[in-house]
């Protein structure tokens, strides 16, 4: 019973959505979509944020309580979270407020830097791990080197045909392999969506009772 009603909601609602995609009827387009689904989706969405807050808060307070590894740094998490929330709720979110200043000058640089570390790891991997162990790996490396050289301004000075060779590699063999993979992935995801729609796939409901 606890799983049946949500399952029925998904199946019936999903079938109405399928009908919505094909039928311009007033009941589907106006009553179901504009008057029921949209306001309800907007009203129920902000609470999902609280899930993330609760989950992280529980994890870090557990760490502090049980003195897990690197538990002292959890205080930095709580401190920065509470200060940001207070700055946002009390000071407002307009440009120039403390809240936006913290986001633009603390969070944005750090978030960008986290990703830029990947460049160093890539260079290290290029030196230590990329080996032409088999003919296929050699073809992969040669294609990569041609594309890499053609992307930069230096490429056209090495050979004026390099940009068009690289464009051919991207337009023909790359396109064919990506299209084949995309068709496979598309078929797989449509099959999974259909299984959810028909109630065969129920893992999203979670385990237990």
Partner 1 sequence: MNIFERMQKLDRRWIYIVVALAIIIPLMIPYDSDNVTTPPTENLYQMIDSFAGREDRAILMSFYHDAATMPELFPMEVAILRHCFERNVKVFTLTWFPAGAPIIDYAINSVKEEFPDIQSGVDYCNFGYKPQAFAMVLGMGDNIANTMNTDAEGRKLENLPIMKGINNYSEMNLAIEFSGSSAGGMWITYARPKYGLNVAVGVTAVMAADMYPYLQSGQLIGMLSGLKGAAEYEKLVDIFAAYRDPKIDYSIKVDEDGNQILPGRPFGREILEDDSSKKLSLITTQTKAKFSMDEFAAFSAKYPENMALLNSLRSLEDDMVIIDVTQITPEQRSQMGETMYRELDRLTRNTLYKFKVARIGMNAQSVAHIMIIVFIVLGNIGYFIQKARQAKN
Partner 2 sequence: MSFELFSNLVGAFFTLCIFSFLYKDNPFYQAAEQMLVGISLGYGLVYTYNRVFVPYVWQTIVIKHQFVLIIPAIMGILYLFRFSRKLGWLSRYPIAFSMMGVGIGVPMGIHASILVQMRQAMVPIESVNLFLIFIGTIAVLLYFFFSKAHSGAYGKFVNVGKWYMMIGFGASFGLTVMARISLLIGRIQFLVNDVFGILK
Question: Is 20 in contact with 32 (CB distance < 8 Å)?
Answer: yes
By CB under 8 A, tell whether 161 contacts partner 2.
no
Between 7 and 141, whose beta carbon lies closer to partner 1? 141
By CB under 8 A, tell whether 134 contacts partner 1.
no
Contacts of partner 2 in 82-111 (CB under 8 A): 82-85, 88-89, 93, 99, 101-111
Q: Which of these ranges, 23-31, 116-124, 155-163, lies near partner 2 under the rule CB under 8 A?
A: 116-124
CA distance 147 to 145: 6
Q: Give the shortest CB-96-to-partner 2 separation in angstroms.
A: 10
Find which of partner 1, partner 2, none residue 154 binds, CB within 5 to 8 Å per kind: partner 1
Q: Which of these ranges, 2-10, 52-60, 98-106, 199-207, lies near partner 1 under the rule CB under 8 A?
A: 98-106
Dihedral in degrees, nearest 10, Cα atoms 90, 95, 96, 99: 40
- Residue that the structure tokens 């990329």 belong to: 130
Question: Is 136 in contact with 124 (CB distance < 8 Å)?
Answer: no
Question: Is 198 in contact with 15 (CB distance < 8 Å)?
Answer: no
CA distance 1 to 4: 5
Can you tell me which of 50, 67, 131, 153 binds partner 2, judged by CB under 8 A? 50
Query: What's the half-sphere exposure (Cβ side, CA atoms, 13 Å) at 133?
Result: 3
Q: Which of these ranges, 60-68, 146-154, 190-198, 201-209, lies near partner 1 under the rule CB under 8 A?
A: 146-154
By CB under 8 A, tell whether 88 contacts partner 1.
no
Separation in Å, CA 143 to CA 121, 138, 158, 167, 168: 21, 9, 16, 11, 11
Q: Give the shortest CB-44-to-partner 2 separation in angstroms.
A: 4
Q: Which of these ranges, 1-9, 67-75, 79-87, 147-155, lies near partner 1 under the rule CB under 8 A?
A: 147-155
Q: Give the shortest CB-26-to-partner 2 separation in angstroms.
A: 18
Angle 184-187-189 from CA coordinates, rounded to 5° = 105
By CB under 8 A, tell whether 170 contacts partner 1.
yes
């Amino acid at each position: 019973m606890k799983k049946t009603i949500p399952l029925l909601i998904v199946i019936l609602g999903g079938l109405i959505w399928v009908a919505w995609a094909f039928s311009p009827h007033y009941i589907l387009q106006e009553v179901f979509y504009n008057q029921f689904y949209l306001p309800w989706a907007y009203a129920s969405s902000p609470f999902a944020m609280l899930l993330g807050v609760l989950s992280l808060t529980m994890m870090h307070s557990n760490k502090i309580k049980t003195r897990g590894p690197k538990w002292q740094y959890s205080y930095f998490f709580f401190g920065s979270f509470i200060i940001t929330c207070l700055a946002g709720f009390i000071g407002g979110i307009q440009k120039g407020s403390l809240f936006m200043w913290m986001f633009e000058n603390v969070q944005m640089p750090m978030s960008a830097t986290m990703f830029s570390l990947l460049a160093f790891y890539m260079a290290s991997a290029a030196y230590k791990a990329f080996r032409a162990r088999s003919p296929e790996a050699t073809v992969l490396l040669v294609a990569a080197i041609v594309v890499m050289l053609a992307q930069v301004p230096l490429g056209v000075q090495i050979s004026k045909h390099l940009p068009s060779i690289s464009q051919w590699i991207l337009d023909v063999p790359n396109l064919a392999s990506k299209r084949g993979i995309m068709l496979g992935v598309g078929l797989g995801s449509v099959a999974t969506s259909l299984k959810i729609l028909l109630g065969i796939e129920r893992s999203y409901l979670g385990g237990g009772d």
